[in-house]
Amino acid sequence: MTKLRWWPIAVAVIGYGIWSFGGHGGLPQPIAVAEAASSDAPIAPAFTHGSDADWLNSKPLKWEALRGKVVLIDFWTFDCWNCYRSFPWLKELEAKYEAKGLQVIGVHTPELPQEYVRDNVVAKVAKFDLKHPVMIDNDYSYWNAFGNRYWPAWYLVDRQGRVRGAFAGETHPGDSNARQIESAIDRLLAETP
């Protein structure tokens, strides 16, 4: 009988680990990696926020202005430790690929009440030293347009504006998720614009 006393604690710890690991929807995995030709991949949804107040580090963007670039959409929220612990990798990725045609665009989609406050997002973008454009998605419209479920999550969009890959979960330089994402970026950058 005493052997079973640990069971509720173990279930609680495992359940919390699953809940807190990558967006509260289960264990993060690659969502999808499109190996098909770009003509078979879905077109990236239009950005859902067009106000200057909804963009940091940039004027509001449109996909037409990004044609010819490979784009990595980064869904994050500032109190998500999986998100901000991935920023060192994300910054290395930008430094490595920006000159080759990669554009990172952050999408800050809040979870907690303090994350809905624009000034708080501005302060965190400065604290984390994020230089790429960040769209504030307080109404979850862009999150829903992608059918996203995780923080952090990354979507790769090719030079023609088609979604060619999706990944989720905390990522660090050299880990399996980083290698998978970087391999997909290399493939997309090698494609003829």
Weakest mean pLDDT among 5-19, 82-96, 113-127:
5-19
Per the structure, how many domains does the chain have?
A: 1
**Would residue 85 count as lying in a domain?**
yes
For 75, 100, 113, 157, the CA distances from 80, given in Å and listed in that order, are 11, 30, 13, 24
Stretch 172-176: mean pLDDT: 96
So what's the pLDDT on residue 35? 52
> Which residues, at least 6 apart from 128, have a Cβ–Cβ distance to it below 8 Å?
78, 84, 87
Asked whether the predicted pLDDT for residue 94 surpasses 50, the reply is: yes
Confidence at 37, pLDDT banded by 50, 70, 90? low
What is the strand order of the sheet 32-33 is part of?
A: 32-33, 163-168, 153-157, 70-76, 102-108, 134-136, 55-56
Mean pLDDT (the chain) is 86
Q: What domain range is 45 assigned to? A: 26-190
Stretch 20-38: mean pLDDT: 44
So what's the pLDDT on residue 1? 44
Closest CA to 74 of 21, 120, 131, 5: 131
Confidence at 192, pLDDT banded by 50, 70, 90? confident
Asked whether the predicted pLDDT for residue 36 surpasses 60, the reply is: no
The CATH number for 155's domain is: 3.40.30.10
**Would residue 125 count as lying in a domain?**
yes
Stretch 141-169: mean pLDDT: 96
pTM above 0.85, yes or no: no
**Would residue 9 count as lying in a domain?**
no
**Would residue 8 count as lying in a domain?**
no
Question: What would the two tokens of residue 103 be?
Answer: 């554009």
